[in-house]
Structure 1
Amino acid sequence: CISRQLYSAVKSSNRKKNIPLNTYVSIYSPAYSEQDGAEDGSFMVDHSLEAAELSPEEILIDRENVRNLREQIETALSPLEKKVFDLYMDGMTYQEIARQMKKEPKSIDNALQRIKTKVNKALKK
């Protein structure tokens, strides 16, 4: 039993499926190590956001793309789905939405599944 357990442990450690989880770097880790001497209190996420600054043209194009995507989603959703989508985007849970709309949680879950399908379809266009 012990040798088999050791064999299984070695075999699973050689798998590559958990490498992303085991080697990730948190975006909330300090940007500089203590050896670098820079102790400005900034985090990795701060520097990644600075690098992601867009030009005015790119911002305008992104806004237009978002507007077009919203229009596609709005036209694809039923009135019930629109209401569920708005409440879900406001941060409400399935149960909270069901209570507010006086529906069963399963019908809210079904609506959200349909919404996800329609949004994915709109994103692929």
Structure 2
Amino acid sequence: MPVPSTSHTQSFLDHLRFVKRYSAHTLTSYEKDLSDFCRFVHDQYEEADLLQVRPAMIRTWLASLKDAGMESRTISRKISALKSLYKYLRKEGLADSNPMATIVTPKLNKRLPMFV
């Protein structure tokens, strides 16, 4: 099955690659995160357009990630990818609203520093 909204995600990833100069690792992670999200929205809501996504859809996706046992740090990265995408779409005039505006990033456990 093709991933929905590939033109929006591809232009966003190109922007990160060529303008923002993100690392290959970050680009690969963002691409997978966005692809997973698009697939979830399409499968659960039969919605193929990222511009029609509502905050409730995003919350459902995040809950499914948590239920699957995904770590808060990984979920935070996925949220970051989506926030960046919608910020880009607004900046480019492609989106009228930002469904990520009300989404809160989960608190991360602070790691203790290691001493030698």
TM-score, normalised with respect to structure 1: 0.32
Relative contact order, higher structure (CA 8 A, sep 6+): 2
Bigger radius of gyration, 1 or 2?
1
Structure showing the higher helix proportion among its residues: 1
TM-score, normalised with respect to structure 2: 0.34
